Structure 1
Amino acid sequence: MRISSILSLAALVSISSAKPSGCGKNFPEGFPTPGSSKTIDLPNSDRSYRIHIPENYDVNRRTPVYFSFCGASRNGKEQEGLSQFSNPEFNPDGIAVYPEIWLSNSLANTSHPNDVDFTNDLLTHLEEKLCVDPSRIYANGKSNGGEFAAVIACNATVGSRFAAFSVVSGAWHETGDVPGVGPCEPAMREEGYPFLIFHGTVDQTAPIDGSKEDDEVSLIDVLHKWTERNGCEKDAKWKSNVTVFEDPLVKHASWDCAGKKDIVQFYREEDNGHCWPSTVPNDDYETMGRKKCPGGHYVFNATEYIFDFYKQHRLNQMV
């Protein structure tokens, strides 16, 4: 893998202290006008991505960037509609990016172009063209795209450019030395790797307790691995496990690790399937039907919780 080498701490600090080269430049040609979205080809590649520029974008103000990766057989435009990351109700000030990824899980055919390199190159491209805040770059994904967000976190180079991660209905496969993400060698950094995970108890596509038939692991194993990576002891118990909603039952668990408060969090959704939680019907509920998304909608908006989580985390060395 082209970017698999681990960066030294000094190299990370050097990279993070550089002024974003896109700040102060004229608004780039070919990008969507502020307040709109557009699918764009990444220069010097055969890859594309969809991007939304907030209406209040300022070429002189550093702007957070939110990546959201689609699930298998889906595309960036569908992920935009599903995640609602472009909706100013949830994200009034940030750039939302929906890469057209091919290798959306660790079991994918590696003869295809590498999505990790694509993500790294895309982020560099955005920093060159737009006034990006390098301390506030975030990764999210649904299903296989969620697993890919974890693959990014496990890469010492590109993962170190992201402040926090969130996963909705992740498909966690058993590969390598770490359940769900294969070999995991993130760079050491003081902020750790904040993770927020959502999963429904009646998810038949990516069962919460795993599936031997599809080599998918239990979500609790995934959570324990990320608490370990953040400095907790093996199989650490959550510091709290509270009821958020009674009907259907939604429970929220969180972990403090090595002095990092609520560094790993989990929402367990009773009576929800392989569906992005939303108080109004979305593409998941409309296309998957009641068998996978029994309620037609849910009792909370995952997107609202994701952005609240992201606000709590930034890369300190980049301030």
Structure 2
Amino acid sequence: MTIRSTDAVRSGVYFVPSSYTGAQKVPVVFDFHGSNSNPTGQLIRSSWDKVAEREGFIVVALQGSLTGKLSGTHAWNVPYVTTQTGGLDEIGFIKSALGQVKQEFCVDPSRIYASGYSGGGRMLSAYICGGNDDFAAAGFVHSLRAGRPVQIEGTWGPDTEGCKPAKPVSIMAFAGEKDTANPYTGGGKPYWQYGFKAAVKRWTELDGCTGNGKTETIGGITYSLHDTCKAGARIASYVFANGTHDWPRPSATEKVIAAAAETEAGVVKVSSARKPSFDPNIDPASRMWEFFRKADSTDVIATAAPAKGKSGTAVASDCPAGAELQGTTCSSSRTVDMRHSAQGGRGAL
């Protein structure tokens, strides 16, 4: 995938599900790779393409402008915290990619989401903090930030002047207490410094959340939810007591817990008298997708189901070039290439 950005011709990869016809408007998830990785390596790590095939949405993975430490890898030129030579305008690149995706595919602009791992999550945090409102919700794996780190009276915390989202945004974030790359309690490299709890707390303030939220722990995994935020925004987090910087994977114990849950008519219903009240077995991409598409009910966790279009209006540019907008559909005679665009770099860190 070639994208003409503000200062250079950039690249990325995309995945189009086999169910895509170019007629029905579909959601899109942007998947941002970590440092010393690349788009293909990130899709291998996250499995967003597998969720997209099952649920019927498009995935786009862009490539950061910095050269990574390993051959074929890259990193993001995150505003205010990266000073490496060769860094390009990443904000402009993301905006250009969003515009191109809307032109080339039949997408629903109200259902464009994003997910970031490590350095990719720091890039995504900076994008949203910069007042860009393109993403309806966002997910962060070992990477949530709420502005660059500043030290006030000896204590590190988010720069309140450096993160001003355009609107309340729903966020799901994952963290490992044994993460040494982006430490859970703070410290680490200059770009990190404040911990995960400080980042979540700041986002509850930015989203205007009230109350202390709901917290529950099962088998070393703590799930927290703030669902009383402005404009219907929600903030959810998963903290793994034994989690490192690796992408979280379900354990054998978690699979047993999930198998014991009651399943009925495509949803897992949770009662206050039965444990668990959240499913610790779903991997991050699946959890984020459920969170992205979840309705306003907080006591039902949706399972896999085909994504459905929402009614509403949108500009014609949200369909491929030459197409006509028809409610939640696009009408075009253009041939659709339903293949996975890929590039080298398998096995990246």
- TM-score normalised by structure 2 residue count: 0.65
Amino acid at match of 2:215: N
Amino acid at match of 1:166: G
For the pair 1:75 / 2:54, whether they are aligned, the reply is no
Amino acid at match of 1:187: A
Q: 2:214 aligns with which of 236, 240, 244?
A: 240
1:120-139 equivalences in 2 (<5 Å): 120-139=95-114
Quote the residue 2:115 is aligned against. 140
For the pair 1:229 / 2:206, whether they are aligned, the reply is yes
Quote the residue 1:275 is aligned against. 246
1:7-86 equivalences in 2 (<5 Å): 40-43=1-4, 45-86=8-49
Q: 2:129 aligns with which of 129, 154, 165?
A: 154
Partners in 2 of 1:184 and 1:200 — Cα distance?
24
**Post-superposition shift, 1:175?**
3.6
1:99-110 equivalences in 2 (<5 Å): 99-102=62-65, 103-106=76-79, 107-109=81-83
**Post-superposition shift, 1:150?**
1.1
- Counterparts in 2 of 1:171 and 1:226: CA distance versus 1, 3 Å: closer
Q: Deviations over 1:12-33 (max 9, x none)?
A: xxxxxxxxxxxxxxxxxxxxxx
Q: Deviations over 1:263-289 (max 9, x none)?
A: 1111010111001112389xxxxxxxx
Amino acid at match of 1:279: P
- Counterparts in 2 of 1:180 and 1:212: CA distance versus 1, 3 Å: farther
Moved more, 178-187 or 42-51: 178-187
Quote the residue 1:308 is aligned against. 290
Quote the residue 2:179 is aligned against. 203
- Counterparts in 2 of 1:184 and 1:318: CA distance versus 1, 3 Å: farther
| Identity across matched positions, percent | 22
Amino acid at match of 1:82: R
- TM-score normalised by structure 1 residue count: 0.71
Q: Per the alignment, in what secondary structure is the counterpart of residue 203 of structure 2?
A: helix
**Higher RCO (CA 8 Å, separation ≥ 6 residues):** 2
Q: Return the index of the structure with the highest Cα Rg.
A: 2
Q: Deviations over 1:55-76 (max 9, x none)?
A: 1112111111100101111100
Which 4+ runs in 1 deviate beyond 3 A? 88-91, 171-178, 212-215, 257-262, 313-319
Number of residues of Structure 1 aligned to a counterpart in Structure 2: 253
Quote the residue 1:119 is aligned against. 94
Q: Per the alignment, in what secondary structure is the counterpart of residue 99 of structure 2?
A: helix
In angstroms, what is the RMSD of aligned CA positions?
Answer: 3.0
Unpaired runs of at least 5, structure 2: 66-75, 152-156, 253-279, 296-308, 315-349
For the pair 1:219 / 2:201, whether they are aligned, the reply is no
